[in-house]
Amino acid sequence: MVELQWAENLDDERTAAVRALLTAARGVDGKPEVDPDGPLPGEFSGGRYLLATTGDDLVGVVHVDASGDAFGRRVAELVVHPDHRRSGHGAALAEALLEEYPSNLRVWAHGDWPGAARLAQHHGLLRSRELLVMHVETADADWPEPDLPEGVTLRTFTPGSDEQAVVDVNARAFHWHPEQGALTADDLAATEREDWFDPRGFFLAEKAGTVIGFHWTKVHPPNPAKFGGRPAGEVYVVGVDPSAQGGGLGRALTIAGLRHLAERGLSQVILYVEGDNAPAVAVYRRLGFTPYEVDVQYATSDAG
């Protein structure tokens, strides 16, 4: 029988158990991004945890970011160990989660699996957000030199100098976004300490000495459950100041990053885009991207 317990903080033993569970899930699902010897992923850090155990085994975990997204909606992640799925543990975790947080809650379902849809429907959760994953093979693409608007120049990011300029543009470009719009200079500085961070793949567009856009790329190590087990570049974030939108700058920045990733020898590039952002999806399709999978957020009726 499964035992459920809420925890505000995790000691070293529980942290190791959660990390091991997430690592096992990544081997099957391709997510989350977790280092078997590193800290828990950001979406599983802080907040509250609901732990499901059978005997001495951790069979499932829910993480709740009780502080909420940029609009104050609580966001949860629910993961069941691959060896213990289809045993009712996901349903038990979902029921306990909604008993504790019956309102103002969104729950991620990565991969849009039918089982997650059935579970959401059973609990009256609404499909509120689709995050589309798109993919392109660099060998199939022919990206030209970026065509920058008149008076705009391109350079790479300088750590210790450019953080606030990027954060300011980001805040204006993504004021509508539940996660990205909340980026702070401290968040950016913390990311610079991550192993994957490379300022050579972080492009800034300037006009008259002012940053008006950026393209931040990322490189993922091989993932056995995703993208054929090969490394993948990512169009991580493209942000254009609203005052500079509509003139082709976003496309130029995107192409600059794509060419950089291809020149690094990466055979494929991915990106995440809101499923209802038809103009952006159309731009990426014209650059050769095709849909790969969908991540979904299910929400209580008041958090849709």
Residue 78, marked binder: yes
Residue 207, marked binder: no
Residue 294, marked binder: no
pLDDT grade for 181, boundaries at 50, 70 and 90: confident
Residue 272, marked binder: yes
Task: Assess whether pLDDT exceeds 90 at residue 66.
Answer: no
Q: Range with the lowest mean pLDDT among 188-192, 226-230, 291-295?
A: 226-230
Based on the fold, state whether residues 102 and 165 are members of the same structural domain. no
Residue 218, marked binder: yes
pLDDT grade for 124, boundaries at 50, 70 and 90: very high
Task: Assess whether pLDDT exceeds 90 at residue 289.
Answer: yes
CATH value at residue 252: 3.40.630.30
Question: Which candidate, 140, 132, 137, places its Cα nearest to that of 292?
Answer: 132
Task: Assess whether pLDDT exceeds 90 at residue 37.
Answer: no
Q: Are strands 48-54 and 57-65 parallel, antiparallel or unpaired?
A: antiparallel
Residue 248, marked binder: yes
Using the Cα atoms of residue 179, residue 174, residue 303 and residue 297 in order, give the sign of their dihedral: negative
Residue-wise pLDDT for 131-173, tens only, equals 999 999 999 999 999 999 999 999 999 999 999 999 999 999 9
Q: Are strands 126-137 and 268-274 parallel, antiparallel or unpaired?
A: antiparallel
Residue 31, marked binder: no
pLDDT grade for 96, boundaries at 50, 70 and 90: very high
Based on the fold, state whether residues 163 and 219 are members of the same structural domain. yes
Residue 58 lies in a domain: yes
Residue 80, marked binder: yes
Q: Whole-model pTM?
A: 0.91
pLDDT at 67 (0 to 100): 85
Residue 13, marked binder: no
Based on the fold, state whether residues 70 and 107 are members of the same structural domain. yes
Q: Are 157 and 166 in contact (CB under 8 A)?
A: yes
Residue 293 lies in a domain: no
CA 219 – CA 194 distance, rounded (Å) = 12
pLDDT at 304 (0 to 100): 78
Mean model confidence pLDDT for the chain: 95
pLDDT grade for 1, boundaries at 50, 70 and 90: confident
Based on the fold, state whether residues 152 and 217 are members of the same structural domain. yes
Residue 49, marked binder: no
Tokens in use for 125? 């959760």
CA 75 centroid distance within chain:
13
Residue 246, marked binder: yes
| Counted domains in the chain | 2
Domain hosting 150: range is: 142-287
Residue 281, marked binder: no
Q: Which residues lie across from 219 on neighbouring strands?
A: 233
